[in-house]
Amino acid sequence: MLGRFNSAISRAKRIIRLQLDRRPFLPITILTAVAFIIFSFYSIERYLALQTNYFDLGLYASSIWRTIHGYSSLATLILPSTPGHIDHIAPLLGLVALAYALVPDPRTLLIIQAGAIALSAVPLYLIAVRETHNQLLSLTIAGLFLANPALHGIIRFDFHTEAFIPLFVFLMYFAYPRQSPILFYTSLGALLSTIEYSAVLGVSIGISLWLAKKKLDRRILATLFGSLALVAIIAISTVGGALQAWNWPAGWLQGQFLGSSPPFWSSPEALLASLQYGIPAKVTYLLVSTAPMWYSFWKYSARIIPAMPWMAIVVLSSRYSYSNVNFQYSVFFVPFVYFASIPLLYQIVKHKKIILGLVLVALSFTILYGALSPTANWPTPSPLASTVASISNSLPQNATILTETDLYPQLSNRAYVSLNYSSSDPAHHRRSRVTPVPALTISDLNKGFPRPKV
């Protein structure tokens, strides 16, 4: 009986190997498709559960809708101009707006984001196959990347242009040694069009490639100079409000990355306070985000260089969102952890038990800390979602609406919708044409609040 079982297992292995030889892209296609379905389903369920917010799904959806309908210019969408929309340098939003125009619904942004994250595993897989010639190992690396709990933070936290960074980073590394430079330069331009911090990533990637290549070539020079040009624009816009003539707000960069807190370099006391802030949270965050590839930091440090600036920011920052896996900022360093893991795992590829142990460790962190973990509380659609949709459909496009943050995304496809923001620092997105009517809230809907007057 045991002999027949072993024979059946051997036959199954041969059939699987034969199919993989005939269809080498089938496993990564299935993995990517499954990830896309899971990411999309989770994101849409959060939307229907009324768990999305003004920051940031409602903000992006409203800004893009207003732009494609002529209420605002494209420049105000992709540049940090006033009146502000996103307040980031994000030319990529111009392309996203084209897709949004086809299906103008906030869930379109969530699906685009899910696709960008899932597809980023494909160039990572191709890099691993090129370097290891081992399809199973490459698939394992791609799967561990998609299972990273810190990567799931961007799926959980609404919509952000940062979601495209892993895809463009892996495409750059994949395209770098190829004969044609078109894909490399396209990926570089796309990376620099996501958000201003991509300039730091570009400089770091250029340095990393320079150290690996041990000489400068045209692609490395283009990466360095292109990224430094964006750094210069950011610096000029920040110092002294030099670009106020183009409506760029003064002190824009400090406001984006430091908020109202004193910068850590302002005084020794501020530096000490930043270092002491949330030390257990910072340590846990860095351990979870990089698990279990810690050894690669020492062994393959050149590949980790682009991850170092943001990891330093995490250590030096006193912002809660920078040391929490449930936010989008992990994409600034997580891709490089898995790029460095390729030679690490290839070095021990013959030790299958060690690799299996590392996989189990990684999946344990996913189960314990991941927002998409099977043990986590997955969102369930709210019974009020249909009521909100009915209200939204019944309102004229020129209606003036004042609402709360958790209902803003569902009502964002209107020209004059505003956030009822009670903070002393009012939301920059508030419209001057909004009249002082009572804000629509979920609590009101639960009480059977009548439809708002237009």
Structural contact between residues 256 and 196, judged by C-beta atoms closer than 8 angstroms: yes
Same domain, 395 and 420: yes
- Dihedral sign (CA 294, 297, 300, 305): positive
* Residue 93 is assigned to a structural domain of this protein: no
* Residue 330 is assigned to a structural domain of this protein: yes
* Residue 170 is assigned to a structural domain of this protein: yes
Residue 281 identity: A
Taking the C-alpha atoms of residue 284 and residue 286, their distance in angstroms, rounded to an integer, is 6
Task: State the pLDDT confidence band at 450, using cuts at 50, 70 and 90.
Answer: very low
Q: Please state which of the ranges 55-59, 168-172, 280-284, 431-435 shows the lowest mean pLDDT.
A: 431-435
- Of the residues 334, 369, 404, which one is the last residue of a structural domain? 369
How do 416-419 and 400-403 pair as beta strands?
Answer: parallel
* Residue 98 is assigned to a structural domain of this protein: no
Same domain, 279 and 393: no
* Token output for 391: 């209200």
| Torsion-angle region of 190 (φ positive above 0: left; ψ -120 to 50: alpha; else: beta) | alpha
Q: Which of 329, 404, 389 is nearest to 47 (CA)?
A: 389
Taking the C-alpha atoms of residue 60 and residue 83, their distance in angstroms, rounded to an integer, is 14
Same domain, 254 and 288: yes
Please compute the mean of the pLDDT values over residues 155-175 and round it to a whole number: 95
Same domain, 330 and 431: no
* Residue 15 is assigned to a structural domain of this protein: no
Write out pLDDT tens, residues 191-204.
999 998 999 999 99
Same domain, 358 and 396: no
Same domain, 256 and 389: no
Taking the C-alpha atoms of residue 263 and residue 400, their distance in angstroms, rounded to an integer, is 39
Structural contact between residues 432 and 402, judged by C-beta atoms closer than 8 angstroms: no
Burial (CB count within 10 angstroms: exposed 0-12, middle 13-18, buried 19+), residue 131: middle
Same domain, 263 and 137: yes
| Domain coverage including residue 228 | 27-51+105-369
Q: Please state which of the ranges 144-153, 263-272, 273-282, 391-400 shows the lowest mean pLDDT.
A: 263-272
Write out pLDDT tens, residues 193-242.
999 899 999 999 999 999 999 999 999 999 999 999 998 888 777 776 66
* Residue 196 is assigned to a structural domain of this protein: yes
- Of the residues 313, 335, 369, which one is the last residue of a structural domain? 369
- Of the residues 318, 339, 369, which one is the last residue of a structural domain? 369
* Residue 17 is assigned to a structural domain of this protein: no
* Residue 20 is assigned to a structural domain of this protein: no
Taking the C-alpha atoms of residue 179 and residue 152, their distance in angstroms, rounded to an integer, is 34
Coil, strand or helix: which one is 440? strand
Same domain, 279 and 168: yes
Q: Please state which of the ranges 42-51, 119-128, 313-322, 333-342 shows the lowest mean pLDDT.
A: 313-322
| Top-confidence residue, 412 or 262 | 412
Same domain, 168 and 192: yes
Same domain, 316 and 355: yes
Write out pLDDT tens, residues 99-140.
999 999 999 999 999 999 999 999 999 999 999 999 999 999
Structural contact between residues 379 and 42, judged by C-beta atoms closer than 8 angstroms: yes
Give the per-residue pLDDT at 440. Answer: 60
Give the per-residue pLDDT at 295. Answer: 87
Task: Say whether pLDDT at 354 is over 50.
Answer: yes
Task: Say whether pLDDT at 425 is over 50.
Answer: no
Give the per-residue pLDDT at 202. Answer: 97
Coil, strand or helix: which one is 244? helix
Q: How many domains does the chain have?
A: 2
Taking the C-alpha atoms of residue 196 and residue 236, their distance in angstroms, rounded to an integer, is 13
Same domain, 257 and 150: yes
Give the per-residue pLDDT at 252. Answer: 57
Same domain, 158 and 271: yes
Structural contact between residues 252 and 236, judged by C-beta atoms closer than 8 angstroms: no
Enumerate residues 6+ apart whose C-beta is below 8 A from 341. 141, 144, 293, 296
Task: State the pLDDT confidence band at 40, using cuts at 50, 70 and 90.
Answer: very high
E strand spans, 294-405:
400-403
Task: Say whether pLDDT at 94 is over 50.
Answer: yes
Q: What is the mean pLDDT of the chain?
A: 85
What string of H, E and C letters represents the secondary structure of 383-438?
Answer: CCHHHHHHHHHHCCCCCEEEECCCCCHHHCCCCEEEECCCCCCCCCCCCCCCCCCC
Taking the C-alpha atoms of residue 139 and residue 325, their distance in angstroms, rounded to an integer, is 24
